[in-house]
Structure 1
Amino acid sequence: MSEPATRIRVVLFDLDGTLADTAPDLANALNHTLRGHGREPLPLEAIRPHVSHGGIALIRFGFGIGADHPQFEIYRRDLLDFYLANIARETRLFDGMERVLDTLEGEGIAWGVVTNKPAWLTDPLMRALGLDRRAACIVSGDTLRYSKPRPEPILHGCALAGASPGECLYVGDAERDIEAGRRAGTATLVALFGYLGEGDEPARWGGDGLLNHPAELLDWLGL
């Protein structure tokens, strides 16, 4: 795993599957929707790999239908309404992530979030986790015209946090995260502890390293 060539001043995180383990609450929302429409609930471990890809992916997986299905938007809205009302019942930071954030703050390294989650879900979740006032920036999927894998959200996060892309690190658990970071010119690390699926090949994504545990981020930064 390569080390940063320049001092990292800002660490940006993806939200679902990187900073926070949101899978239990999103799985509960999907299963609530499935039961409400006469379907059997699914186990958390089956749902987990789909969580990083949002509500559309969850409905596709859970109901086995495409976005052109006449009931698709009804199912998606039911899922999101339930999720918003129960957004942090079981969601927690990944084990070791609180120590990572505390260490970054203690070392004067700012951190923020760049996610494809829409702001109307991102903001209440960050508040519920007590992170909204700690983050140097929060960039949601609808903050700008474009979302990841386009580089603009990460570039916006760097600017809000007051650093150049070369002084920033982006950490995510999906290929689009690493692509966005690389296109933006930041260093990138893959969170293997996130929601990777069986077909994912993170070693081929072109990141600067792979993290098996959040604490390894501190090792990579030399902290």
Structure 2
Amino acid sequence: MLQAVLFDLDGTLLDTAVDFTTVLNHMLSERGQALQDYAAVRQRVSDGARTVVQLGFHQQDDLAGLLDEFLDRYLKQVSVSTTLFPGMTDVLNHIEERGLRWGIVTNKPLRFTTPLLAAMQLTERCSTVICPDHVTHKKPHPEPIYLACKEIDCLPVNTIYIGDHQRDIDAGRNANMRTVACRYGYISAADNLDSWGANYIVDTATDLIPLITQLHQS
């Protein structure tokens, strides 16, 4: 029986791409370079900030310096336009109403995750938050998943992991956990979710509600 739900953060629980786009375009504008649209940035957020910076600045010599600047700027406006994905409020309410626990396993560093969750008023609601700072190996290694399960006192077999990237599904599978792939997330045209090996695929966040109900009752 399902006892807990774990989420990836960017592209699964929260839509952070607008803030990433804003920061990148401010930097590009200041340097007189072509701006990037939201759709292009959205497809790269799940691959990390370095990939977002490379989208705008390509392989410039000072890429490391540009990345540092990007991260510093992002930290200052980490939650200006970020929102829960449509329907996710109902999903979290549904999880809590059924007496289940939920948490976050993300590759987003702790220094960004902590203020972001606080601003979204999620800190007190989630039972665990695992970032790369807490482990030796990040996703797709199963270590973060195992640590999250330990913190919420729940076996992986009684937990599901929900994500929008191949490594999310790999991490869950590596931990012998059922997984859910999200088509509504930061999916690129090249992504074939059917090939990821997820146990379930959802088109919208709202689709998680009947799935969670089914798994909790079985």
TM exceeding 0.5: yes
* C-alpha deviation, 1:25, in angstroms: 0.4
C-alpha separation between the residues in 2 aligned to 1:53 and 1:221? 27
SS in structure 2 at match of 1:130: coil
Normalised by the size of structure 2, how large is the TM-score? 0.95
Number of equivalences: 214
- The correspondence for 2:138, drawn from 147, 160, 175, is 147
* C-alpha deviation, 1:152, in angstroms: 0.4
Normalised by the size of structure 1, how large is the TM-score? 0.93
- Identity across the alignment (%): 36
- Paired residue for 2:41? 47
- Paired residue for 1:3? none
Unaligned runs of 5+ in 2: none
- Paired residue for 2:107? 116
C-alpha separation between the residues in 2 aligned to 1:177 and 1:41? 30
Amino acid at match of 2:27: T
- The correspondence for 1:8, drawn from 2, 7, 10, is 2
- The correspondence for 2:210, drawn from 207, 219, 223, is 219
C-alpha separation between the residues in 1 aligned to 2:80 and 2:174? 35
- Paired residue for 1:169? 160
SS in structure 1 at match of 2:104: strand
For residues 91-146 of structure 1, the C-alpha deviation after alignment (integer angstroms, 9 at most, x for no partner) is 00001101110110010110000000000001100000000111000001221111
Kindly indicate whether residue 128 of structure 2 is the aligned counterpart of residue 137 of structure 1: yes
Worse-matched range after superposition: 14-23 or 26-35: 26-35
Amino acid at match of 1:23: A
- Paired residue for 2:92? 101
C-alpha separation between the residues in 2 aligned to 1:137 and 1:63? 36
Amino acid at match of 2:11: G
SS in structure 2 at match of 1:222: helix
C-alpha separation between the residues in 2 aligned to 1:51 and 1:132? 22
For residues 167-191 of structure 1, the C-alpha deviation after alignment (integer angstroms, 9 at most, x for no partner) is 1100000000000000011110001
Contact 1:25 1:87 in 2 (8 A): yes
* C-alpha deviation, 1:222, in angstroms: 2.3
For residues 2-60 of structure 1, the C-alpha deviation after alignment (integer angstroms, 9 at most, x for no partner) is xxxxx111100000000000000011111122223331211111111001111111112
Amino acid at match of 1:22: T
